[in-house]
Amino acid sequence: MSHAEYCGQFIKPGGKVLDVGSGRGDFLRGMASLGFDARGVESSPERIFSATGGKVVRASAEDLPFQDNYFDFVNCAEVSEHADNPAKMLAEIFRVLKSGGKCYISFHNRCGVYDYHYHLYFINWMPRAWTEPILKFLGKQKKDGQAGRQKLISMHYYTCGRILRMLRDAGFSAADIRAERIKKISGVFHILFLFFYFCLLRPFYFNTFHFLLAKP
């Protein structure tokens, strides 16, 4: 299923959805096609121009221009690493969600084997101070700008334990989406697969963590 279809199963018909970091509006269009009232925020003015239907406003993830307890669902995919203050971003998402509302969110793994931003293996296993001269030598260095933090040394990458503490501090309960899928597809062997996932794949292989959050 598409990302919109996956998220849609957690939202009541016609529910209000916020997309944090709307980009070119693909998720918004997908949610609108499923009958949801979808709105978005985007910090990059170039992307706002190309996003869908006037329902995207220029704003940061740390200062959402919506009232408290307004949305049934928030999507925040591939945003946390670029935000200035991820903890404040989480507090804002918590604020605008209704009680019982849910949020799909992703974070980048400080120890992931492959980096999707720079398309390099093993660079996240290195001390961050080493990465600047390496990226400069390879001609891959990026600059921070209106689209948020883009340099590897300034983007926010975390271990899973650090993320879970941040989510608890923000007031959310969190379910690991990959772990839930493993339980569904692996049947009686799910304990073995989950052991392999939690001990090796999640901390040292996957580049991103994906969570479904719930506001009490």
- For 73-112, the pLDDT digits (tens) are 999 999 999 999 999 999 999 999 999 999 999 999 999 9
Q: How many domains does the chain have?
A: 1
CA gap 149, 37 in Å, rounded:
29
Contact 52, 19 (CB under 8 A): no
- Determine the 3-state secondary structure of 9 from DSSP: coil
Task: Give the rounded percent of residues in the chain with a pLDDT score beyond 90.
Answer: 84
Tokens of 105: 């969110």
Q: What's the CATH number where 12 sits? A: 3.40.50.150
Q: What is the pLDDT of residue 49?
A: 55
pLDDT exceeds cutoff 80 at 48: no
Q: What is the pLDDT of residue 146?
A: 73
The total of other beta-carbon atoms located within 10 Å of residue 186's CB is 14
CA gap 97, 168 in Å, rounded:
16
| Structure confidence by residue, pLDDT tens digits, 50-67 | 555 568 888 999 999 999
Question: For residue 88, which phi and psi values (nearest 5 degrees)?
Answer: -70, -35
Q: Regarding beta strands 97-109 and 120-121, do their DSSP bridges make them parallel or antiparallel, or are they unpaired?
A: unpaired
Which residue range is the domain that position 186 belongs to? 3-214
Query: pLDDT class for 44, splitting at 50, 70, 90?
Result: confident
Residues in the chain, how many?
216
